[in-house]
């Protein structure tokens, strides 16, 4: 996809200077790296006289010795001793070659030459390099000669933002991680030598390797070969986690849930909606039914985070959590750079569930006191969540107990366009939660009907019921007896000692009901409450 985008822009004459970023270190097909692929597919067919490579560590090198001689000839042999110098020394001569003959120039690690940050904070060397690079993009002589410049960066946010200004004609092109079909083809290529056994099918291997580059997939194969073990589900999961944590662990939290929908009580309407409108459509490839984003509203402790974990487990999709404490940095531009990396890392693992807890405090427009950081991150988040190309690929789910504090731009249709209330459980749901929590912890009990405890715990949230069960286990083990059983008497005693502690439950419930945009998602007992909210709103507007 990236090559087609580049070729289209080149042929249209949009630019002759391109900035390729993200997965630029990977093999493009089964064996060729980026520069070799560009050379064989593009340069070789178009009669470039000079093909050169520059980075700050190795200086200027050439594809063939004759090309180096031609470069020196153009510059009257003044460059013989300057090939390994800094940009300020060699770029003026590169400029002359670009304007004199059809030259292809690769500049690797461009972020080391023109790093992000204010121009005023750049060194003189960096500012001079920035001027040359920007001026090349608008030089009509370079365009007429047919010279082309290829710049490579791992992270676009690490590169000076000056190059992206509309006054310059530098085209950024995202080099994405391989899609499922590409991964499948590459895995078949890797495994055809039968040097390692695989306990899973190629198609399953391809699905499990989402979010990985081809080089990382090859590493999995080589490690299995070195350790003399077959490639299995657990082996891939372990190696994948290691790779992703190393790459994005500084800005993303990876979630590997152990419980599914069958392990959590209550929330039947929410679970049903998520299965029918997210899991099933994505697996069938019908993304039209999938909402752009989902907002879970309700009092604290009602199981919003637990529901997201269960969705990840039941769907088998990748799941990450945006934690703003990992994003915010102390240096100018660091927070915005981290957030871009965070979104790119999440997008690379599609289909992926991206969870934002307490979104009312995580994303705001910012104020004058934060130097515009909050505003910049909020704007980036709005743009990303509103991108319809992500529908069914990046599933944003946010949780809040104060939806009234959210910016209206976040809640509009096309972003978090489905609001699901997660409310205090009803009697039957509370009884179910008692049963499932006891089962989850592996506690022994002689109780078979949990309905009485559901009746005794009115206004308890799921988290508070879990606290009751843990208190019952404490009581059962007061005499340090092993294998103590949670009896009816012990459970009743625990309920009497554990009172609901969640504050403002009624207020948060009203906010969640008011925010709900689909009557079918409300428990029957709350539908009348929705009518009361609607009447109250109508009366207030009169």
Mean pLDDT of 256-284: 88
Radius of gyration of the chain from Cα atoms? 29
Q: Does residue 250 carry a pLDDT above 80?
A: no
Which of these, 165, 168, 57, lies nearest to 112 by C-alpha position? 57
pLDDT for res 537: 43
Cis peptide before 351 (omega within 30 of 0): yes
Mean pLDDT of 18-31: 93
Highest mean pLDDT among 84-98, 167-181, 443-457: 84-98
Which of these, 173, 129, 253, lies nearest to 1 by C-alpha position? 173
DSSP 457-517: TTT--HHHHHHHHHHHHHHHTTT--TT-EE-HHHHHHHHHH-----TTHHHHHHHHHHH--
Mean pLDDT of 51-59: 95
Q: Does residue 151 carry a pLDDT above 90?
A: yes
Of the candidate ranges 55-59, 219-223, 327-331, 438-442, the one whose mean pLDDT is the lowest:
327-331
Residue-wise pLDDT for 388-424, tens only, equals: 888 988 999 999 999 888 888 888 878 888 899 999 8
Q: What percentage of the chain exceeds 70 in pLDDT?
A: 94
**From the centroid of its chain, how far is CA 159?**
20
Residue 427: C-alpha distances to residues 262, 333, 456, 469, 470 (Å):
18, 51, 9, 16, 20
* C-alpha atoms less than 13 angstroms from C-alpha of 141 in its C-beta half-sphere: 9
Q: Counting Cβ atoms within 10 Å, is residue 225 exposed (0-12), middle (13-18) or buried (19+)?
A: middle
Residue 415: C-alpha distances to residues 384, 386, 387, 399, 514 (Å):
9, 5, 8, 14, 18
Q: Are 110 and 152 in contact (CB under 8 A)?
A: yes
Q: Counting Cβ atoms within 10 Å, is residue 12 exposed (0-12), middle (13-18) or buried (19+)?
A: exposed
pLDDT for res 367: 57
Per-residue HEC secondary structure of 85-97 comes to CCHHHHHHHHHHH
Residue 500: C-alpha distances to residues 133, 205, 508 (Å):
64, 47, 15
- For the record, the structure tokens of 521 come out as 């998602």
Of the candidate ranges 111-115, 487-491, 516-520, the one whose mean pLDDT is the lowest:
516-520
pLDDT for res 186: 95
Highest mean pLDDT among 33-37, 180-184, 382-386, 522-526: 33-37
**Cα–Cα distance for residue pair 236/457, rounded to 1 Å:** 44
Of the candidate ranges 209-223, 244-258, 275-289, 302-316, the one whose mean pLDDT is the lowest:
244-258
pLDDT for res 540: 42
pLDDT for res 541: 40
Q: Which residues contact 7 (CB under 8 A, 6 or more apart)?
A: 42
**Cα–Cα distance for residue pair 431/457, rounded to 1 Å:** 9
**Cα–Cα distance for residue pair 345/320, rounded to 1 Å:** 9
pLDDT for res 333: 67
**Cα–Cα distance for residue pair 215/206, rounded to 1 Å:** 14
DSSP lists the bridge partners of residue 410 as none
**Cα–Cα distance for residue pair 124/130, rounded to 1 Å:** 10
What are the structural domains, with CATH classification, of the chain?
A: 2-175 (3.40.50), 180-248 (1.10.8), 261-421 (3.40.50.300), 427-497 (1.10.8.60)
Q: Which residues contact 438 (CB under 8 A, 6 or more apart)?
A: 445, 469, 486
Question: Which residue matches tokens 């590493």?
Answer: 219
How would residue 98 be classed by pLDDT, with cut points 50, 70 and 90? very high
pLDDT for res 538: 45
Residue-wise pLDDT for 315-347, tens only, equals: 888 888 988 877 876 556 678 888 888 888 888
């Amino acid at each position: 996809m990236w090559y087609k985008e580049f070729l289209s822009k080149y042929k249209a004459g949009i630019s002759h200077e391109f900035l390729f970023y993200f997965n630029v270190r990977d093999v493009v097909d089964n064996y060729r790296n980026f520069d070799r692929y560009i050379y064989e597919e593009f340069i070789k067919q178009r009669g470039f006289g000079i093909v050169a490579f520059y980075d700050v560590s190795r200086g200027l090198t050439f594809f063939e010795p004759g090309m180096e001689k031609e470069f020196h000839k153009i510059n009257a042999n003044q460059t013989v001793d300057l090939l390994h110098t800094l940009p300020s020394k060699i770029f003026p001569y590169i400029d002359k070659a670009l304007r004199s003959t059809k030259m292809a120039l690769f500049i690797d690690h461009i972020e080391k030459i023109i790093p992000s940050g204010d121009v005023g904070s750049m060194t003189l060397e960096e500012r001079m390099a920035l001027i040359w690079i920007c001026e090349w993009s608008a030089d009509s002589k370079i365009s007429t000669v047919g010279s082309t410049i290829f710049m490579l960066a791992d992270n676009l946010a690490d590169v000076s933002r000056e190059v992206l200004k509309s006054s310059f004609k530098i085209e950024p092109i995202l080099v994405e991680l391989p899609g499922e079909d590409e991964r499948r083809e590459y895995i078949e290529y890797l495994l055809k030598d039968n040097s390692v056994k695989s306990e899973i099918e190629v198609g399953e291997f391809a699905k499990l390797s989402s979010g990985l580059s081809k080089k990382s997939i090859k590493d999995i194969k080589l490690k299995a070969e070195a350790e003399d073990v077959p490639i299995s589900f657990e082996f891939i999961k372990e190696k994948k986690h290691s790779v992703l944590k190393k790459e994005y662990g500084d800005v993303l939290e990876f979630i590997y849930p152990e419980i599914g929908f069958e392990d959590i009580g209550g929330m039947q309407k929410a679970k049903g909606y998520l299965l029918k409108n997210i899991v099933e459509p994505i697996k069938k490839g019908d993304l039209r039914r999938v909402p752009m984003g989902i907002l879970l509203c309700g009092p604290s402790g009602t199981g919003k985070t637990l529901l997201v974990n269960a969705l990840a487990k039941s769907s088998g999709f990748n799941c990450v959590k945006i934690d703003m404490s990992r994003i915010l940095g102390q240096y100018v531009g660091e927070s915005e750079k981290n957030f871009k990396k965070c979104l790119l890392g999440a997008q690379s693992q599609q289909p992926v569930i991206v969870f934002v807890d307490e979104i009312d405090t995580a994303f705001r427009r910012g104020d004058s006191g934060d130097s515009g950081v909050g505003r910049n991150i909020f704007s980036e988040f709005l743009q990303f969540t509103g991108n319809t190309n992500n529908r069914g690929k990046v599933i944003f789910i946010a949780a809040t107990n104060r939806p009234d504090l959210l910016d209206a731009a976040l809640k509009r249709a096309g972003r978090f366009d489905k609001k699901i209330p997660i409310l205090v459980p009803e009697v039957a749901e509370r009884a179910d939660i008692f049963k499932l929590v006891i089962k989850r912890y592996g506690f022994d009990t002689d109780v078979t009907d949990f309905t009485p405890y559901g009746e005794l715990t009115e206004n308890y949230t799921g988290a508070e019921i879990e606290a009751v069960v843990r208190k019952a286990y404490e009581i059962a083990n007061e005499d340090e007896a092993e294998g103590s059983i949670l009896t009816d008497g012990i459970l009743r005693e625990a309920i009497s000692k554990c009172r609901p502690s969640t504050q403002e439950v009624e207020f948060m419930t009203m906010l969640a009901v008011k925010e709900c945009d689909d009557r079918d998602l409300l428990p029957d007992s709350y539908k009348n409450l929705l009518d009361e909210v609607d009447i109250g709103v109508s009366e207030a507007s009169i």
